[in-house]
Amino acid sequence: MQVCHGKCAPLKRVASGDRVAYYSPTVTMGGKDKCQRFVSIGIVLAGQPYQFDMGGGFLPFRLDVAYVPAQEASILPLLDRLEFVDDRLHWGYKFRFGLFKVGDADMRLIARAMQADFASLSFPEPVAHVPCERQL
């Protein structure tokens, strides 16, 4: 994973075993073509940030992630249920930080929307409960 235009410091806040989900606001970087989707999800592997030569003198820092099979998922139907969305009107503001922490409930919601395998993300499978009527 590479965040914040390749800076190292944000990657030092991430630990092995953390779950990460990538959100893409646009189809092309800096473009106006909206994407507004979670596009990948996985678990951070053990190791330290390292530089990767992308050519042209650009040497961003990265961390290795075990990405799991998943489908892209729009954020729009999730906005009212994501705990990290503080202000429904300005929900995209949080993403300007480049990397921020989310709780397990939000990560589960994102993973479910992406149809990602819960076991691969080290989530226990959700337990299904069926309500029953009391017999008098």
pLDDT over threshold 70, residue 27:
yes
Say what the pLDDT of residue 130 is: 58
pTM of the complete model: 0.85
69-97: per-residue pLDDT in tens? 999 999 999 999 999 998 888 888 888 88
Say what the pLDDT of residue 26 is: 87
46-56: per-residue pLDDT in tens? 999 999 999 99
Task: Kindly state whether residue 126 falls inside one of the protein's structural domains.
Answer: no
Task: Kindly state whether residue 121 falls inside one of the protein's structural domains.
Answer: no
Task: Kindly state whether residue 118 falls inside one of the protein's structural domains.
Answer: no
Distance CA 122, CA 134 (A): 36
Outline where DSSP puts E strands in the chain: 19-26, 34-44, 50-51, 61-62, 65-67, 73-74
Task: Kindly state whether residue 130 falls inside one of the protein's structural domains.
Answer: no
Number of domains in the chain: 1
Task: Kindly state whether residue 119 falls inside one of the protein's structural domains.
Answer: no
Task: Kindly state whether residue 129 falls inside one of the protein's structural domains.
Answer: no
User: Average pLDDT in the 56-63 region?
Assistant: 94
Whether 14 contacts 61, CB under 8 Å? no
pLDDT over threshold 50, residue 134:
no
Residue-number span of the structural domain to which 23 is assigned: 4-113
Task: Kindly state whether residue 127 falls inside one of the protein's structural domains.
Answer: no
Spell out the residues 6+ positions from residue 52 whose beta carbon is closer than 8 angstroms to its own.
2, 59, 60, 61, 62
CATH of the domain at 109: 3.10.590.10
Say what the pLDDT of residue 136 is: 45
Distance CA 20, CA 13 (A): 12
Structure tokens that stand for 88 in this block: 């429904």
pLDDT over threshold 90, residue 126:
no
Q: What percent of the chain has pLDDT over 90?
A: 64
Start-to-end C-alpha separation, the chain: 57
